[in-house]
Amino acid sequence: MVDDLILMVAYAICRNPEIFTRVNTFTENAALNGHRLNIYDDLGMEQRMGLYETLKLARYLPKLTFCLFEQTGLTSSISHLREYQMECEVTHTVFIREYSAWHPGSGWVTKGNLDLLGRTLL
């Protein structure tokens, strides 16, 4: 998942020349023809793997920040960031307050501790 996010940023936002050209070669110029790209439908596994490997060496990508919310699916692949040369930052949830109609009482559920923000977490 993380690799897919980086690929889409490089392709659709940064228009990284190498990635942009290779993807358009694989997809019959999808971007140039105004078509949306679905990386799972439009690119084969080998094509995606090759693009990921190219991106791992790319130095001119923007700094990306990943906010890992509670129960996110990104947790299983976030460690892939170690393989990339780009700047990145990963944050996680420290405090949650949300309303739930199924929670007894007021319906508000609170988890975490805001007092941690004043301390060094590393």
For residue 75, is pLDDT > 60? yes
For residue 120, is pLDDT > 60? no
The predicted structure's pLDDT at residue 78: 94
pTM of the entire structure?
0.77
Nearest to 32 by CA among 24, 40, 43: 24
**Per-residue pLDDT band at 25 (split at 50, 70, 90):** confident
* Integer Cα distance of 3 and 82 in angstroms: 11
| Single-letter amino acid code for the residue at 3 | D
